[in-house]
Amino acid sequence: METKGKEEILEKVQDTPVETTTEEETVDENEENIVEEEEEPEPKSSKKKKKDEDEDIVEERIYTIPLGRALVRPPKKRAPRAITLIREFIKKHMKMDTSAITEMERGELPKLSISNAVNEKIWSRSIKKPPRKIRVRVTKDKEDNVKVFLAEGE
């Protein structure tokens, strides 16, 4: 309801003719007739893309991670084991140094974050039947923080 009222006011302001007057009168009229337009919020996904582009990506790779070893576990522990396998694989292949010496030098350990899409893909067929393998896109920024995304087309 509020948006309709604002749209009507905007149309009225645009349709009113502008009279030529002195500068002081024009300023007074403009202050009375100004209606602030609200910017439409962008979708969340585009904000995330802009954030990713702003960060300096040092390295980007695409991996196919085998998850067959998760099936050795009891059925109720397979999906959590698959997530653990992904973490181990990424730490090994992206050469993440998580030792205490690194923490002392930099002040922080590098972070590994797995996107929600990857997690949903693992859990898509319940806890008992995670996929045998998964394709992921892995990015590493200049602070050695690693992010794991689902590969496009998956």
- Start-to-end C-alpha separation, the chain: 41
CA angle 57, 93, 54 (to 5 degrees): 10
- Residue 68 has a pLDDT of 96
pLDDT in tens, 35-80: 444 455 555 555 555 555 556 888 999 999 999 999 999 999 999 9
Do 78 and 17 lie in a common domain?
no
Do 89 and 136 lie in a common domain?
yes
- Residue 94 pLDDT more than 80? yes
- pTM for the predicted model, two decimal places: 0.62
In a domain, residue 38? The reply is no
Mean pLDDT of the chain: 78
Structural domain that includes position 12: 2-33
CATH number, domain with residue 95 = 3.10.440.10
